[in-house]
Amino acid sequence: MVRALSHLKATVVSASLVTLALPVSLQAQDKPLSVECIDSNSEVAQAPTEAMTRWLSSHAESYDRSDAFTISATGAMNRVFAPSGMLVHPLQMAEVVRRSSSFSGDKAKLVELGISGSSLGDTSSYADQLSAALDTEVQGCDGIAYYVNSGLYLCAAALKETEAVNNRLLPIGFHPEQFPMFMAFCVGKGQSPDPRTLLSSQAAYGLFPNELAELDAAAKSDAAAAFRLYQYYWIAKQDRDSALSWLEKSANLGSQIAQYNLAYELFESAKVEQIERANGVMDELVSSGARLPDLREFYTNSGETNE
């Protein structure tokens, strides 16, 4: 196993895929797919995001594949996040991959992005951009990436809006292309899948209603709270408009990571006035001595804009 650069912490694994024997509780297809089975008061359900991301990282490290260079990270809607919350540009990710000693032989022929929402869209997805940068095939996930602690990665169908309630741990419907279809249902009230066994970034970054209310109150003057709401809406809820509103709020409150991510989104808009604003944001970050990449290096053709 080889770790990518520490500031990105993308997991790179090698060896063979471990076959998972599904427990009976996950094979029982006569149970309702309903959020009513969530016990929001359980100690596990209330585990902080930091704990869940540690579990998720551990799960991802258990996933081994010999015929592909595999990357896991927090992501959604064609965005990939470093542990700091900083967005990782596809060209930046390409640099990390190229520098890895594991990216050779058969592994240089296929890159697997085990990252939620990394292949959305026809030609401009994160996976497509990374593929162009590496000049090799890249397979992303257009749904939600789940990892099981026994060594299995699954790209599942995204939850419908009616199911995407303010709970961290949701019953999950899996529709992976590379494995026989199966469903993971709640066995009964309070018996949802244990995140220490089965987890996604979306569950890890979810919030219960009380947590959401507390953050909403604090975010009026707290950049970190506003940034956490940005992550919640982008990663867990996949609500772009709400996420960008909180990102802007966090940036205005002084978060340099938020300012960086805001510049990223402004550059991605490909609009003249937004690119001018993005350049201004990067000027201020560079002048302040912020230890962040200069996004302008990744947008050298930013003259191609949308009016």
Domain ranges of the chain: 2-204, 209-298
Q: Which two tokens stand for residue 254?
A: 């002084």
Tell me the percentage of the chain whose pLDDT exceeds 70: 70
Asked if residue 245 has pLDDT above 90, the reply is: yes
What's the confidence (pLDDT) of residue 202? 86
Eight-state DSSP code of residue 151? T
pLDDT band for position 285 (cuts 50, 70, 90): very high
8 A C-beta contact, residue 298 and residue 89:
yes
Asked if residue 181 has pLDDT above 80, the reply is: no
In one-letter notation, the amino acid at residue 301 is: N
| Distance spanning both ends of the chain, measured CA to CA | 46
Q: What is the pTM of this model?
A: 0.81
pLDDT band for position 119 (cuts 50, 70, 90): very high
d(CA 93, CA 167): 31
8 A C-beta contact, residue 34 and residue 160:
no
Asked if residue 224 has pLDDT above 60, the reply is: yes
The SS3 of residue 154 is: strand
What's the confidence (pLDDT) of residue 144? 87
In one-letter notation, the amino acid at residue 42 is: S
Tell me the percentage of the chain whose pLDDT exceeds 90: 49
d(CA 109, CA 259): 36
Q: Which residue has the higher pLDDT, 31 or 108?
A: 108
The SS3 of residue 139 is: strand
Asked if residue 3 has pLDDT above 80, the reply is: no
d(CA 285, CA 158): 36
Eight-state DSSP code of residue 194? P
Ranges 32-41, 43-52, 155-164, 258-267, most confident: 258-267
pLDDT band for position 301 (cuts 50, 70, 90): low
Q: Which two tokens stand for residue 99?
A: 């520098």
Q: Identify the residue whose tokens are 């990216």.
A: 103
The SS3 of residue 57 is: helix
CA distance to 1, 59, 94, 107, 119, per residue, from 67 (Å): 14, 19, 18, 6, 20
What's the confidence (pLDDT) of residue 210? 82
Query: What average pLDDT does the structure give for the chain?
Result: 77
Q: What mean pLDDT is predicted for residues 29-37?
A: 41
Asked if residue 16 has pLDDT above 50, the reply is: no
What's the confidence (pLDDT) of residue 174? 40
